[in-house]
Structure 1
Amino acid sequence: MTRSLEPMLDFFLREKGELVHINSVRQLALIQDATNTIQMTDEKIIRAATPLHTGDIVDYRYERYLITSQVDRNEQSCRGRMKKCNQWLALNWNGQVRWFDAVVEARTFSTETGKVISMPEGNILITVQDNTDTRGITLSQRFYITHQPFKIVGIDRTMNGIIQLSCTLDSINTAYDDVENNIADRWKYEITHTYALQINQRTIAYVPLNETIPLNVTATDNGNEIANPAITYTSSDPSVISVDQQGRVMGIALGQASITAKLTYHLTVQSTIEIRVVETGTHIYSIAITGNPILKTGQSASYVSHIYDHGVEVFDQSVEWSLQNQDHSTPIMGSITSSSGNSVTIKAGSRGRVNHKALILTATLVSDPSITTEKTISLKNLF
């Protein structure tokens, strides 16, 4: 006598079922592939002893699935068809962004009766759970999938538990869309962030063997300095130079390597510096000049030299100053009016048209005249 298939499946559910989470509740379920062939969408059959409903979220083997079919029930168990949520969808309601697990199908998709429906190029079908948030979805609402913009052109709410969205390709709004993070209209309601990161020890620094130097790093957002930014540091060759996450660099062996600093939560924002390991006791000096890069006719400005040894600022060295025209012409279109320690005051000339002309201010290390640096000071007419 042939045994019914249903009691056998219920037996396997009890004996061979796997632990899954259904709507975040731990349950025992029997999972099997919906088809014998590999398809574009990962579709499976789920059987559970507890109630199942269309639109239930199932977490199975570190993947999330959505029950998209109607559910069959017998006295012992429930059975349904579920599809893997292959996209994380952001929808924006006037600045309130909410994320949803979604099943996204393009070009073609299968129906429960086995038919295949073809979709026009550039159109996609999205299935999401029917809940309080998704009920607020409206026609013409925009969103991004894999950095491509789409617009909702149809909404199907006929099946209890899920909502299906017919969508077509849209155009990118460069003023408002956060394309990188797949959020439409983000900057319409939020401030656009422009991050920058700079290692301030020029392009090359030096560290003595078996000693450490700190990196001087500045991070800004829209030009404003960020206090205590989260920065990740890496060395291109830790066997030569190591770096900790406070930016302290140690010379491990003679040689050189590059150190890269990245904003921890914006890893594309980065700065790199070459570090050379030298014998202990070797002085490696460098100079940086700070001050206004623009000077108007007849006006004065002060400039300061900062002297570094192995990238660390020192205060026992001094510089000599000199001034010349950028094009080496004479007379010089400015003068040094005072000099005190490592600071100097420059006054621009008061005659002639000087727009598009510039002065070159040079600082030369007194103890080693081979160490120099220059600063270009652009000149502008007062009126």
Structure 2
Amino acid sequence: MTRSLEPMIDFFLREKGELVHINGVRQLGLIRDATDNIQMTDEKIIRAATPLHTGDIVDCRDERYFVTSQVDQNEKSCRGRMRKCNQRLALNWSGQVKWFDAVVEARTFSTETGKVISMPEGNILVTVQDNADTRNIALNQRFYITHQPFKIVGIDRILNGIVQLSCTLDSISPAYDDVEHNIADRWKYEIAHTYALHINHGTIAHVRLNEIIPLNVTAMDNRNEMANPVITFISSDPSVVSVDQQGQIMGIALGQASITANLTYHPTVRSTIELRVVETGTHIYSIAITGNPILKTGQSASYVSHIYDHGVEVFDQSVEWSLRNQDESTPIMGSITASTGNCVTIKAGSSIGANNKAFALTATLVSDPSMSAEKNISLKNLF
């Protein structure tokens, strides 16, 4: 568009302009491609009756653009070149993560020679808006783009309104980086949740025909018991065993079915038990283990098994005890030091490497080895 059209800019904006948002404010603008040639980047020329500045964010045609050039300002309009943002990147300041629209390129244009310059392999140039947040960007700060880590090795703030970052490919930090969501150092400042769910009736339980028993389920978050977890229960055959969302199961017909419990908001975290429906009058035993859920290295603690027959505690049955590492690793990081009746004492080893590990203490009914219960015991360092 030439300067001779300047007196008619109001007419052209009204008749040919399209709706855009400049820094979030609704405006009319004249948009055209910056070149007739097909390019790797999407660049356009914008003309608007309102002021434009380098670094302004323009939303048009369902895309977001940066004004990347100096702005040509006339009496009635402003004109500038803008480039489509092709990436969003997250920058992390000690746990405070902020997302930025950016133009990322592995090739750049030389204003001196007029030629496209390829950057060294593994290097990219990132352009972001100059604002209060991006002014805090520092050298060696890391970020991810398309699941690849980069490190900032150069910062150029010469052009008012935008910041250009020279970046080089970096190495992944598995302990700290959330690679899936492209956030560097996320787990360095956030707690990564490790969930577990356990039905505390062993692998097999019994319910009498037409009677109801509750399932005892424990949910853990980073080896700490969760209060009021939201759990979904599913029966493999509701015509044999039904279950409601409070974990109350009912024997509908003689036979067996599996009950699966999973954390509602983390459905891959689950536990399954086989329920057998038996005739009325049949003994239905269950076991509950009481005792401290945390044991410090080098120390001992006692645990008691309570045996129930259809929900009523009985005292004519006994259990055998066993101990293993919850993750099935060896050697076992502790031992059973005493066992008297339905009581047991275990001692944790003194290894520092046991911190944040766990025991699985199992009580198995002597009269029916298919009936057992487990208790998870978290290990912590003494100091």
TM-score (normalizing by structure 1): 0.63
Q: How does 1:279-290 map to 2 (within 5 A)?
A: 287-290=286-289
Partner Cα distance (2:235, 2:117) in 1 = 52
Partner Cα distance (2:225, 2:271) in 1 = 20
Q: What's the offset of the Cα at 1:216? A: 3.3
Q: Deviations over 1:339-366 (max 9, x none)?
A: xxxxx22479xxxxxxxxxx9852157x
> Secondary structure at the residue paired with 1:164?
strand
Which shifted more, 164-173 or 315-324?
A: 315-324
Partner Cα distance (1:86, 1:242) in 2 = 52
Q: Which runs of 5+ in 1 are unaligned?
A: 327-332, 339-343, 349-358, 378-383
Q: How does 1:247-258 map to 2 (within 5 A)?
A: none
Q: Which residue of 1 aligns with 2:225?
A: 225
Q: Which residue of 2 aligns with 1:69?
A: 69
> Secondary structure at the residue paired with 1:320?
coil
Partner Cα distance (1:50, 1:284) in 2 = 84
Q: What's the offset of the Cα at 1:307? A: 5.7
2:170 equivalent to 1:170: yes
Q: Which residue of 2 aligns with 1:345?
A: 343
> Secondary structure at the residue paired with 2:79?
strand
Going from structure 1 to structure 2, the CA distance change for 1:303 and 1:26 (only over 3 Å counts) comes to same
Q: Which residue of 2 aligns with 1:271?
A: 269
Partner Cα distance (1:110, 1:286) in 2 = 78
Going from structure 1 to structure 2, the CA distance change for 1:261 and 1:76 (only over 3 Å counts) comes to same
- Contact residue 305 and residue 319 of structure 2 kept, 8 A: no
Partner Cα distance (1:182, 1:166) in 2 = 19
Q: Which residue of 1 aligns with 2:100?
A: 101
Q: What's the offset of the Cα at 1:120? A: 1.4
Q: Deviations over 1:203-256 (max 9, x none)?
A: 7889999x99778351313x3334455x5859799x999999x766899x9987
Q: Which residue of 2 aligns with 1:139?
A: 139
- Contact residue 199 and residue 271 of structure 1 kept, 8 A: no
How many residues matched? 333
Q: What's the offset of the Cα at 1:165? A: 0.7
- Contact residue 104 and residue 124 of structure 1 kept, 8 A: no
Going from structure 1 to structure 2, the CA distance change for 1:288 and 1:85 (only over 3 Å counts) comes to farther
Which shifted more, 273-282 or 283-292?
A: 273-282
- Contact residue 319 and residue 364 of structure 1 kept, 8 A: no
Partner Cα distance (1:279, 1:108) in 2 = 70
Q: How does 1:204-243 map to 2 (within 5 A)?
A: 216-221=217-222, 223-228=223-228
Partner Cα distance (1:82, 1:308) in 2 = 76
Q: What's the offset of the Cα at 1:59? A: 3.0
Q: Which amino acid in the other structure matches residue 56 of structure 2? A: D
Q: Which amino acid in the other structure matches residue 22 of structure 1? A: I
Partner Cα distance (1:284, 1:60) in 2 = 73
- Contact residue 364 and residue 370 of structure 2 kept, 8 A: no
Partner Cα distance (2:156, 2:79) in 1 = 23
Q: Which residue of 2 aligns with 1:304?
A: 305
Going from structure 1 to structure 2, the CA distance change for 1:13 and 1:47 (only over 3 Å counts) comes to same
Going from structure 1 to structure 2, the CA distance change for 1:5 and 1:200 (only over 3 Å counts) comes to farther
Q: What's the offset of the Cα at 1:33? A: 4.3
Q: Which runs of 5+ in 2 are unaligned?
A: 324-335, 347-360, 377-383
Q: What's the offset of the Cα at 1:174? A: 4.4
2:371 equivalent to 1:372: yes
Q: What's the offset of the Cα at 1:53? A: 0.8
Partner Cα distance (1:213, 1:257) in 2 = 12
Partner Cα distance (2:283, 2:12) in 1 = 75
Q: Which residue of 1 aligns with 2:87?
A: 87
Going from structure 1 to structure 2, the CA distance change for 1:147 and 1:183 (only over 3 Å counts) comes to same
Going from structure 1 to structure 2, the CA distance change for 1:21 and 1:213 (only over 3 Å counts) comes to farther
Partner Cα distance (1:152, 1:35) in 2 = 31
Q: Deviations over 1:27-86 (max 9, x none)?
A: 223444445566544433333221111111223355432221222233332222223333
- Contact residue 104 and residue 127 of structure 1 kept, 8 A: yes
Q: Which residue of 1 aligns with 2:192?
A: 193
Q: Which residue of 2 aligns with 1:151?
A: 151
Partner Cα distance (1:90, 1:121) in 2 = 22
Q: Which residue of 2 aligns with 1:27?
A: 27
TM-score (normalizing by structure 2): 0.63
> Secondary structure at the residue paired with 2:171?
coil
Q: What's the offset of the Cα at 1:168? A: 0.4
Q: What's the offset of the Cα at 1:281? A: 9.4
Going from structure 1 to structure 2, the CA distance change for 1:301 and 1:134 (only over 3 Å counts) comes to closer
Going from structure 1 to structure 2, the CA distance change for 1:361 and 1:236 (only over 3 Å counts) comes to closer
Q: Which amino acid in the other structure matches residue 43 of structure 1? A: E
Q: Which amino acid in the other structure matches residue 365 of structure 2? A: A
> Secondary structure at the residue paired with 2:318?
strand
Identity, % of aligned positions: 49
- Contact residue 321 and residue 361 of structure 1 kept, 8 A: no
Q: Which amino acid in the other structure matches residue 99 of structure 1? A: K
> Secondary structure at the residue paired with 2:53?
coil
- Contact residue 206 and residue 275 of structure 1 kept, 8 A: no
